[in-house]
Structure 1
Amino acid sequence: MVHQTRPQPHDKNLLWSAFLGGGAAGLFVDVVLFPLDTLKTRLQAEQGFHKSGGFRGIYKGLGPQVVGSAPQAALFFLTYESIKNYAEPLVPKGAMPLVYMFGASVAEVMACLVRVPMEVAKQRKQTSLVDKSAIKILLAAYKYEGFFKGVYRGFGSTIMREIPFSIIQFPTLEFCKTFYRTKFKNNIPLDSWEVAVCGSIAGGTSAAITTPLDVVKTRIMLADRKLVKSGSVTFSKTFKKVWQKDGIRGLYAGAVPRTLWIFLGGYIFFGSYDFTKNAVYEILEEKRR
């Protein structure tokens, strides 16, 4: 068992441990829970679950997910931990939830620079009956739709999903960690499995609340390119279309696998992140000594 030395604010080793820990955790959780993501995407697709592939080929799109998982999670936690730890000595404790919200929002924008192209390729593979490589999908998107409307299609809607998600998730996570530590641990740092439990609660809660935003994001990414070029595929128009056609049921399509995916993913992700981050930090500290 690695003895976990807890990182301190303003420590450059914290940044490296957050970066490497985030990358490892992102890759691990996305590979393990990928089938649930496929089912969620197919439930949200406009053509319906069965026409999108049903239960067949639930690992389609894993390639781009694997490529994008580590860098986006690494960028996220490098940004989030930097903002959080540098702000903690300067900001009153009562205002720290605002720091968590701000840090998570900035971190999501950074992560989406990697996430969105991988998400476009992944979701088109998940819902297509024709087997194309992720590279071919992105090249075709660039050729026929352009850089922003093709490769980065859905960037705005992804940000509109991820920022509210993180604004709920990370203050909830930090509250759960603080509450558990003060009430049950006598202010002793949490073990990784305890951080994992807090992560699953925060992730599941955020996933359930923000499912309609995820549905809209998925519809935009999978929309016909002609409609995108015409300017008829916007966040507000897509939201209205889903609501008028399927009502609340349509806006919460895929809510169960999404919530389950992120609830389980929160446990695996934050637990593995905490363990890996602290293990890396311990190694870096040993080298520094």
Structure 2
Amino acid sequence: MSDLHRYKNNFVAGGTALATAFAIMHPLDTMKTRMQASTSAGASGSINIRSLFNIETARVLGRGFVASVAGAGPQGGLRLATYEFTKTHILATSPTRSSNSILPSFGPIPASALSAIAGDFVSSIIKVPREVVTARLQAGHYEAPAGHGPVGTTDVVRSILRQDGLKGLFRGFWSTTARDWPFMVILFTTYESFKQYHHHITFPVVGSSRPFTSSSSVLSPIEERVRASIEEEMEDHVPITTFKSTLFGGISGFLAGYLTTPFDVIKTKIMLSSRSGITIGGVAKALYAQQRQMLSANSHGNVGALKPASVFFTGAVARSSWWFCVCSMFFPVYEGMKGFLREQNF
């Protein structure tokens, strides 16, 4: 299979999988965004989750659905196609231990980490505008004028372009990058580790019978490309059950989602802000000061009771649960679609 053919298949599989998962889990994402957007300097120290389960919230759970799902397709396609392409070429060009190359030698897990960053960076051209528009729709950032229907995706895009120009659609780009690079590294390296463990336990012969693994020979660049291509084909043909793919993906998504919640809180604040020049550091300091003020009031001046990190984990349960569900659906669909397209020679 050529690189172009494989890239196309991975693009279709990644786009289908991410759009499907985002569509199903959109209501929970809306709840998480509204929780993070509701924190303000004058708010109480805790968020009343019950207030999210009311008629108003139920009415707005679908806000941003079209923008989110429509953008998730090309975003997932670019991310996964670039991820797989980059991983294959890193492994193909990584020198063997016996070679005298000054270039570093990458194993599957480091290669997955670097490829995850590359895939996320390429997909940011779609991801950041999608998140800016979706977050503002979910949080009710704009009020519909009298006699106007509900604010839609087109209205939000026009408003952003009118106020801030094209750069407004990329508001929070670096805060999103600061959140998603560690997220993607944790997600894909954890999932790949699960897969490698599964392959090793279930099919140990696969790991011991790979071509071009002799430690006494130095491979040419062409042989390295052939080796990486054959190993990727062998790995793709090693079956993994839907249950295990669901479980591996869910655990990986939960872990990555929870650990990167502070970055997500800061990103949401920046995207929803109407002020220009807002920075990651400025938002972080404001949140820290806000938490100190709230907890100082609640603890009657007991400084020892302060827990300033808690504000950075606003919506952590909703976010990590959302990613557990998204990834438990995404990876089985992605693996299934890749297998189907490969068998159909699509």
Q: Alpha-carbon deviations, 1:136-160, whole Å to 9, x = none?
A: 1111111112221x11111111111
* Structure 2 residue 278 is matched with structure 1 residue 217: no
C-alpha distance in structure 2 between counterparts of 1:120 and 1:202, whole Å: 25
1:189 is displaced (CA, Å) by 3.5
What's the secondary structure of 2:345's corresponding residue? helix
Indicate the SS of the match to 2:92. coil
- Normalising by structure 2, what TM-score? 0.73
In structure 2, C-alpha distance between the alignment counterparts of 1:174 and 1:59, rounded to whole Å: 33
Quote the residue 1:125 is aligned against.
137
Identity of aligned residues (%): 28
Whether the aligned pair in 2 keeps the contact of 1:13 and 1:284 (CA below 8 Å) is no
Give the Å deviation of 1:262: 0.4
Q: Secondary structure at the match of 2:62?
A: coil
- 5+ long unaligned stretches in structure 2: 41-46, 97-104, 145-149, 207-237, 292-307
Matches of residues 1-289 of structure 1 in structure 2 within 5 Å? 11-47=3-39, 54-91=57-94, 95-128=107-140, 130=144, 131-148=150-167, 150-186=168-204, 187=206, 188-223=238-273, 225=274, 227-228=275-276, 231=277, 233-246=278-291, 247-284=308-345
SS of structure 2 residue aligned to 1:132 = coil
* Contact 1:13 1:281 (8 Å CA) reproduced: no
| 1:47 Cα deviation from its structure 2 partner | 4.9
Kindly tell me: are residues 83 and 19 of structure 1, through their superposed partners in 2, closer, same or farther at Cα, counting changes over 3 Å? same
SS in 1 for 2:151: coil
* Residues 25 and 73, structure 1, Cα contact 8 Å, conserved in 2: yes
Alignment RMSD: 2.1
Residues 221-258 of structure 1, C-alpha deviation per residue, up to 9 Å, x if partnerless? 011x2x22xx2x10111112112212322100111111
Deviation at 1:68, TM superposition (A): 0.1
1:46 Cα deviation from its structure 2 partner: 4.2
Rounded to whole Å, the distance in 2 between the matches of 1:15 and 1:107 is 12
AA aligned to 2:200 is T
1:85-119 deviation line (CA, Å, top 9, x unaligned): 22223336863322111111111111111011111
| Alpha-carbon distance between aligned partners in 2 of 1:157 and 1:219, rounded to the nearest angstrom | 10
C-alpha separation between the residues in 2 aligned to 1:81 and 1:176? 17
Matches of 1:87 and 1:44, distance apart in 2:
38
